[in-house]
Amino acid sequence: MTEDDVLAEFRAAEALLEGHFILSSGLRSSRYLQCARVLMDPARGARLSEALVASIPEELREQIDIVVSPAMGGVIAGHEMGRALGVEAVFLERPDGVFELRRGFRLAPGQRVLMMEDVVTTGLSSREAIAAIGRAGGVTVAAAALVDRSNGTADLGVPFFPLIRLDVPTYPADALPAELAAIPAIKPGSRAAA
């Protein structure tokens, strides 16, 4: 699947948004890929996850025992990756602000994990998820995401495989370009106010 093919999937799902967005990192952006919309179609989710799995080297794919993703955004993406890889998928939650496994999910000591995100912007949530995997006894062998918004700067400490890299500038709230500052900001992600 080419970058144009991936973007076509997002456009078809009306998931490629333009405006003034507050990202979960707190940074601002003029474009937003709403992965929840693109993943609401199971066939589309399957196509995207299978394309992402194909981008991971076979020797690394063979090492993966389980997929772990951070809630909320990574839950469906992680499930689809588990299905595409033929392994179980579980997710982390932050009941008290720190990622942990709940709901009876657990990792065997040394279990090899693919940490799966929907979108990586700064990499902070991904690194927190990888730390939680380690605390739970797992070993993160790689990370993957549908979208890398970091402009290639996110260092997750493990090999990282995004399906697409979206190089859109992000800005701190106090350093917006005039054209972005003139548009009301909305928070479209999983941490948006209801």
Tens digit of each residue's pLDDT (9 = 90 or more) over 126-146: 999 999 999 999 999 999 999
Residue 43 CA to chain centroid, in angstroms? 19
The pLDDT-based confidence of 191 (bands split at 50, 70, 90) is very low
Spatial distance between the Cα atoms of 146 and 169, rounded to a whole number of angstroms: 18
pLDDT band at 190 (very low <50, low <70, confident <90, very high): low
pTM of the model: 0.85
* pLDDT range class, residue 189, cuts 50, 70, 90: low
Residues contacting residue 96 through CB under 8 Å, at least 6 positions apart:
none
Which pLDDT score, from 0 to 100, does residue 140 have? 98
30 φ, ψ to 5°?
-95, -10
